[in-house]
Amino acid sequence: MPIRQLKISGVRNLQPLDLTLQPGVNFIYGDNGSGKTSILEAIVLMAAGKSFRTSQLKHVLAHDADRIEIQMDIDDESLGHCQLDSLRLKGGDHLLKLNGSVLTSQAEAAHWLPVQVIDPTTFKLLSGSPEERRQFIDWGVFHVEHSFMEQWKTFRKQLKQRNSVLKQKEAEWLPVWNKGFVESALVIDQHRRDYLKRFKPEFMRILKALDESVDVSLAYYPGWDKDSALQDVLDKQQERDMVLGYTQSGPHRAELRIKVDKQPAAEILSRGQQKTVVAALKIAQGALFQQESGRRTIYLVDDLASELDEKHRFALCKLLEDLKCQVFITSIDKDKLTDIWQPVASTVFHVEHGRIEDVAQEIQGVTQEQSPVTD
């Protein structure tokens, strides 16, 4: 699933660049503020239509630019070859193309670019809102269940219509909208349940490989009382829903609960342990995607050394190496990249003041016996 060629212009302090990338590991190092994370940001912008660093596009746009342009050449073992082009104007207009044809949905670009980000902000997967964890589940479902996006759109439409009826206090119309709402809600819920049933054992395997001492549990809450039918819950809450003007229960309120000894993991684990758990969640999701689709996830690991000691960095890199996927890893310190993981198929890029230079290629890999953390 490698990005073979990457062109970027108009992103933060990055000078226009045209990179030939490794299908394996791409190390990127440079000082804080040099622009190394902005390269990862551009990849996510193409894949997800938004940045993982800010909710406002104006912060991504270079101060003297009127547009952001990103182009990628992608080779996929199942889908074939494609060229993705993204043009974002300062005024907000966005043009997305696949092989020269205009795309009307971001989902198509996401389908070609199954990207996972591991960075300091991914702590939100544990400590953030339930929406963070719902999005995590739905990423996995979307990339293996091709009908999920349309089913999700149907559910969102049903939810919007039901909320409109509630706001207008039109109780006589609720039975009509409840039927469609419940039907689409149960489809979404079943997809999530099926996915998590397959995901949990893979997550436990990956977490054990990263750190055997960390023991967490995953529990899925559908967004309503699990011992009651959704229709019954809606009937009981109808009066309160009318007062509030929105639907209190449903898949839009689902939650993945990550706990240690029945307590939220974010309240019990150290920051280092939290990062280990988040890394395990992300790697397990990519591993399961690979098993079920035959395709590979692209991993973006920003600031690898942050919060992880040498032992855990080595374990994380070993897991990614086993997946044989494309990886982008950034760090301030070049040595903290290459002393832990030096696979044969790799390239080292140095970023300074927004300019990027290819400084090393085809580094000979270290063996496990050479690793400082082996027995």
Give binding residues for ATP as ranges: 30-37
Based on its alpha-carbon atoms, the radius of gyration of the chain, rounded to whole angstroms, reads 22
Spatial strand order of the sheet with 101-102 comes to 17-20, 3-9, 67-76, 80-89, 94-98, 101-102
How many residues in the chain?
A: 375
- Residue 28: which H helix or E strand, with range? strand 25-29
Closest CA to 216 of 271, 164, 253, 268: 268
Q: CA distances (Å), 232 to each of 162, 170, 229, 255, in order?
A: 16, 19, 5, 20
Report the distance separating Cα 83 and Cα 2, nearest Å.
12
Could you tell me if 51 and 60 are in contact, meaning their C-beta atoms sit under 8 angstroms apart?
A: yes
List residues forming the annotated binding site.
Answer: 30-37
Closest CA to 204 of 262, 133, 280: 280
* Tokens 């990179």, residue located: 19
**Which residues fall within 8 angstroms of residue 359, CB to CB, at 6 or more apart?**
348, 349, 350
